[in-house]
Amino acid sequence: MAPKADTQSAGAVAAADASSQFSMDPLFHILKVVPYSFLRAPRLRLKIPSVSLPSAMTVFSLVLLTYFMVVSGFVYDVIVEPPGIGSTQDPATGAVRPVVFLPGRVNGQYIIEGLSSGFMFVLGGIGIVLLDLALDKNRARSVKVSYAIAGISSVVIAYVMTTLFIRIKIPGYLR
Amino acid sequence: MSNSYTSDILKPFKLKTKQQELLIRVSILCLVYILAFITRLFSVLRYESMIHEFDPYFNYRTTLYLTQHGFYDFWNWFDYESWYPLGRIVGGTLYPGLMVTAALIYRLLHFLRFAVHIREVCVLTAPFFASNTTLVAYFFGKEIWDSGAGLVAAILIAVCPGYISRSVAGSYDNEGVAIFALLFTFYLFVKAVNTGSLAWGLASAFGYFYMVSAWGGYVFIINLIPLYVLVLLITGRYSMRLYVAYNCLYILGMLLAMQIRFVGFQHVQSGEHMAAMGVFFLMQVFYFLDWVKHMLSDTKLFQEFLRITVTCAVAVGGIALGVGMASGYISPWTGRFYSLLDPTYAKDHIPIIASVSEHQPTAWSSFMFDFHILLFLFPAGLYFCFKRLSDATIFIVMYGLTSMYFAGVMVRLILVATPAVCLISAIAVSATVKNLTVLLRSKTKVAQIGSTKGTSSAKASSKASLDQSQPFQKNGAMALLFGAFYLLSRYATHCTWVTSEAYSSPSIVLAARGAHGNRVIFDDYREAYFWLRQNTPLDAKVMSWWDYGYQITAMGNRTVIVDNNTWNNTHIATVGRAMSSYEDEAYEIIRSLDVDYVLVVFGGVTGYSSDDINKFLWMVRIGGGVFPVIKEPDYLVNGEYRVDKGAAPKMLNCLMYKLSYYRFGEMMTEYGKPPGYDRARGVEIGNKDIKLEHLEEAFTTSNWIVRIYKVKPPNNRW
């Protein structure tokens, strides 16, 4: 829908065979007079690249990537700038132990825990998508079976891990 | 013979399949309606029917005024009891939708001779509208996908914690009504785009008017719908239906929205609404080009014309926008909405917006808490929508994506994302369950037909193996269905647990577990406000931090200096400066504001962590933003905020410290700890011997949570 601003190449073409094309474009006629009556348009072989709409599944994969970033708390990481992983000092030995999940608050995270949880959510979503692909009629049976197994295991793993994460993070969960 | 006899008796009750389906659908919707209502009643059952939090108290006070004085007095009300000495033009600075709705319900109930108090109506407005939202979600799901998805959407949104958090009974806030209005407007608009009917377009305009009257978040609608129209135009889905629907919504909606004084002429003046206007003119250009194409038979001519027109239209639009913004007629995006596009803006420039805990960005656990299973179903639902693109599914995908992005920027906006997430997840559930049940109900004669055709050996063998795997497939599908139902039941358990534990607290009454596991209730806030109401002169003015302003005016019935409306940053900064200065300078400011009582909230005895000492740094930042004499590093030690012996001297002697810890040094708060042990900070306080010169203690509640001080008049000359 954007106007093609190739009056230059149109001018070159018109200069080449002036009588064959008749244009209604006033801009073209102005340009024919003002610079190009005394300037010679160079011979160019430029082509405007054609922009076509991406397919639905391409857009879907981009959307999935964005969803992963949003749901793993990317904006939280950028603004609050938490450490990648927390640390605590063992009272007995004095050694520094890493703490993966930020304790105490629901709305707080370290970067790594956010990314791993986000990955689990996307894995669960992809599992359900694989299940739907497995039920599609037009594939070979072995492909369908492998999709189904991959889908079911993805969903199960994602659900179990997510429940485990939230149980670690919020000690009183479901009590 | 007895068989036919019983079947004769049961004959009038035997329903055809279509009637059975209708009965199932209606009964599911009725049950969901009731469920959505009763799951929000936890706090009413545990405590009592009262208004929660801070903002709802202002809404309650205005609704009370509306029912007592009528609509015109309410619309023209100037409130001299808040923001002393400035006052507040209430009629022009609020969104009346919620109050008018509650007042109408109140009038209706009184007309039917149910003499309920307005407070009960206010408390139960939000659950009532939540139930209505489930019905709208059903119709919306039916419009986008099919009635099965609609039913699942209704069920999911009835219990989703993201919505419950702001619509629990007692949470009498704009969002309770606004989410209903939002979903209703979107449903009506999608219906208008699908049918192209002017009636539905008109209905969507009135739905938009209701949304504008209810909540400031209407800006989301007036930006999402033009974005959606733009996406449809880009993907080549321009049609007459879209033209009719959008024009009707935009023009009528804009005119109706201007009736709300708070909104005023923003639809033509504010930068946030310009996208809608731009898309409106673009639609006219599209229609014009379509008409010219219809008139011309020469495509080459039309191409030239297209080029010229679009260039001119874009140029004229750009010039108009530039002139508008340069001359100042079109105001730029306000801070609140600009911080959604650039989340780092509020942190650096507007401390008031950054200080509200609801405005923090969202971590993964907040998402999990509020959505649970829906976080898996959302990408799956997006996949199904992308598989079957239509005008309606494109809309729900855009709504889902934009609202999820905003939910990631600000915790509070998880509420706006909830309907979209529920609808898209419902599509995933419905499509998956449909796939599985089709597999379950597929008859074995499919394999028999295949074997009789027998075109090639490979095909025959595959059909034979299909015959063999049929029972395996059926068992597999059955197992997967049970798995799906198990996941949904876990979702329901999670939602009920979250509602009960996290979102049903009234915030004005605090509860904790005592030493023996019994529940201990702290009702200090109401105790303090009631003391104010009964023991202070009627024209007394109370200074406190802005969080408590609405509650003091509503329950204490006294004039306040600043309240939650936060419309005047300088006034709030003056209060912040007073709280963070030494007592003598603070007394000057207090006298200049004509204050009689100062109220602080202190959590050191009970361990309550949302008290004024924990909020103190925000007072310093906001005060320092306007009065550079207040510097934040003065109150910190090595960048750390402390109240014990190692605290900064300015901190140990500022007014807030003195008012919070007056007489606290002799208090034994915990066994085995020295006197003056602050349980909220977990340290022993630094300055125990506090003497107040210009204020005297008037009242401290039984758990020391709210402390009220009387301002002494200045000394006589000597």
Q: pLDDT tens digits, residue range B339-376?
A: 778 777 777 777 666 777 778 899 999 999 999 999 99
Chain B residues near residue A104 by CB distance under 8 angstroms: none
Return the percentage of chain B with pLDDT > 70, whole number: 94
| Nearest-by-CA chain A residue for B389 | A56
A66 in B contact zone (CB under 8 Å) = yes
Per-residue confidence (pLDDT) for residue B140, from 0 to 100: 96
User: Average pLDDT, stretch B208-214?
Assistant: 96
Q: Which run of H or of E encompasses B653?
A: helix B649-653
- Residues B375, B377, B378, B381, Cα dihedral to 10°: 180
pLDDT tier at B466 (50, 70, 90 boundaries)? low
Q: How far is A140 from chain B (nearest CA, A)?
A: 9
In terms of residues, how long is chain B? 718
Least confident of B31-45, B466-480, B561-575, B624-638: B466-480
Interface with chain A: mutation pick from B342, B360, B364, highest number of A CBs within 10 Å:
B364
Q: Is the pLDDT of residue A114 over 80?
A: yes
* Strand intervals (E) in B164-203: none
Which tops the pLDDT comparison, B33 or A1? B33
Q: Which of B404, B439, B385 is nearest to B149 (CA)?
A: B385
pLDDT tier at B310 (50, 70, 90 boundaries)? confident
Are B49 and B120 in contact, with CB atoms under 8 Å apart?
yes
Per-residue confidence (pLDDT) for residue A6, from 0 to 100: 42
What range does the domain containing A119 cover? 54-167
Per-residue confidence (pLDDT) for residue A30, from 0 to 100: 84
Choose among B367, B369, B497: nearest Cβ to A71. B367
> What is the predicted ipTM?
0.83
A41 in B contact zone (CB under 8 Å) = no
User: Average pLDDT, stretch B467-475?
Assistant: 72
Which tops the pLDDT comparison, A53 or A3? A53
Q: Rounded to whole angstroms, how far apart are CA atoms B202 and B560?
A: 44
pLDDT tier at A92 (50, 70, 90 boundaries)? confident
Least confident of B69-73, B250-254, B452-456: B452-456
Per-residue confidence (pLDDT) for residue B16, from 0 to 100: 86
Domain total of chain A: 1
Q: How far is A39 from chain B (nearest CA, A)?
A: 24
pLDDT tier at B467 (50, 70, 90 boundaries)? low
Q: Identify whether A163 is part of a domain.
A: yes
Are B55 and B552 in contact, with CB atoms under 8 Å apart?
no
Choose among B304, B363, B376: nearest Cβ to A108. B363
Chain B residues near residue A106 by CB distance under 8 angstroms: 363, 365-366, 369, 502
Does B363 sit within 8 Å of A109, measured CB to CB? yes
The overall average pLDDT reported for chain A is 83
Count CA atoms closer than 13 A to B698's CA, side-chain side. 21
Per-residue confidence (pLDDT) for residue B669, from 0 to 100: 84
pLDDT tier at B246 (50, 70, 90 boundaries)? very high
Q: Identify whether A20 is part of a domain.
A: no
Q: Is the pLDDT of residue A14 over 60?
A: no
Q: How far is B424 from chain A (nearest CA, A)?
A: 12
Per-residue confidence (pLDDT) for residue B210, from 0 to 100: 97
Does A74 sit within 8 Å of B435, measured CB to CB? no
pLDDT tier at B453 (50, 70, 90 boundaries)? very low
User: Average pLDDT, stretch B59-88?
Assistant: 92
Interface with chain B: mutation pick from A71, A146, A149, A162, highest number of B CBs within 10 Å:
A71
**Domains of chain B: residue spans and CATH:** 175-331 (no CATH), 524-711 (3.40.50.12610)
Query: Which tokens sit at B621?
Result: 């930042």
Per-residue confidence (pLDDT) for residue B15, from 0 to 100: 78
Chain A residues near residue B365 by CB distance under 8 angstroms: 106-109, 117, 166, 169-170
Q: Which of B166, B180, B160 is nearest to B370 (CA)?
A: B160
Q: Identify whether A14 is part of a domain.
A: no
pLDDT tier at B329 (50, 70, 90 boundaries)? confident
Are B371 and B421 in contact, with CB atoms under 8 Å apart?
yes
Does B386 sit within 8 Å of A60, measured CB to CB? yes
Q: Identify whether A117 is part of a domain.
A: yes
Among A24-38, B95-109, B322-336, B434-448, the range with the most confident prediction by mean pLDDT is B95-109
Per-residue confidence (pLDDT) for residue B347, from 0 to 100: 73
pLDDT tier at B224 (50, 70, 90 boundaries)? very high
Chain B residues near residue A174 by CB distance under 8 angstroms: 493-494, 497
Choose among A60, A70, A172: nearest Cβ to B382. A60
A86 in B contact zone (CB under 8 Å) = no
Q: How far is A60 from chain B (nearest CA, A)?
A: 7
Least confident of B57-71, B190-204, B295-309: B295-309
Per-residue confidence (pLDDT) for residue B451, from 0 to 100: 42
Q: How far is B128 from chain A (nearest CA, A)?
A: 27
Among B44-53, B250-259, B294-303, the range with the most confident prediction by mean pLDDT is B250-259
| Nearest-by-CA chain A residue for B309 | A3
Distance between start and end Cα atoms, chain B: 115
Q: Identify whether A151 is part of a domain.
A: yes
Chain A residues near residue B380 by CB distance under 8 angstroms: 125, 128-129, 132
| Nearest-by-CA chain A residue for B345 | A79
User: Average pLDDT, stretch B615-641?
Assistant: 90
Q: Identify whether A44 is part of a domain.
A: no
pTM for the predicted model, two decimal places: 0.88
Burial class for B169, CB neighbours closer than 10 Å (0-12, 13-18, 19+) = buried
| Nearest-by-CA chain B residue for A156 | B483
Phi-psi region of B708 (alpha: psi -120 to 50; beta: other; left: phi over 0): beta
Per-residue confidence (pLDDT) for residue B461, from 0 to 100: 46
Q: How far is A17 from chain B (nearest CA, A)?
A: 18
The overall average pLDDT reported for chain B is 89
Q: Identify whether A8 is part of a domain.
A: no
Q: Is the pLDDT of residue B186 over 50?
A: yes
Does A3 sit within 8 Å of B379, measured CB to CB? no
Per-residue pLDDT of A16-74, as tens digits, reads 444 446 666 777 888 888 888 888 878 888 888 878 888 888 899 999 999 999 999 99
Does B368 sit within 8 Å of A166, measured CB to CB? yes
Considering Cα of B628, then B634, then B636, then B642, what sign does the dihedral take?
Answer: negative
Q: Identify whether A84 is part of a domain.
A: yes
A78 in B contact zone (CB under 8 Å) = yes
Query: Which tokens sit at B387?
Result: 């598989």
Chain A residues near residue B496 by CB distance under 8 angstroms: none
Least confident of A16-20, B373-377, B396-400, B626-630: A16-20
Per-residue confidence (pLDDT) for residue B230, from 0 to 100: 93
| Nearest-by-CA chain B residue for A136 | B435
Among B34-43, B331-340, B565-574, the range with the most confident prediction by mean pLDDT is B34-43
Q: Which of B84, B78, B126, B87 is nearest to B105 (CA)?
A: B126
Q: Is the pLDDT of residue A4 over 80?
A: no
Considering Cα of B272, then B278, then B279, then B284, what sign does the dihedral take?
Answer: positive
Q: Rounded to whole angstroms, how far apart are CA atoms B297 and B293?
A: 7
* Strand intervals (E) in B66-140: 78-79, 88-89
Q: Is the pLDDT of residue B564 over 70?
A: yes
Does B401 sit within 8 Å of A131, measured CB to CB? no
Q: Is the pLDDT of residue B470 over 90?
A: no
pLDDT tier at B454 (50, 70, 90 boundaries)? very low
Q: How far is A15 from chain B (nearest CA, A)?
A: 18
Q: Which of B617, B609, B614, B659 is nearest to B636 (CA)?
A: B617
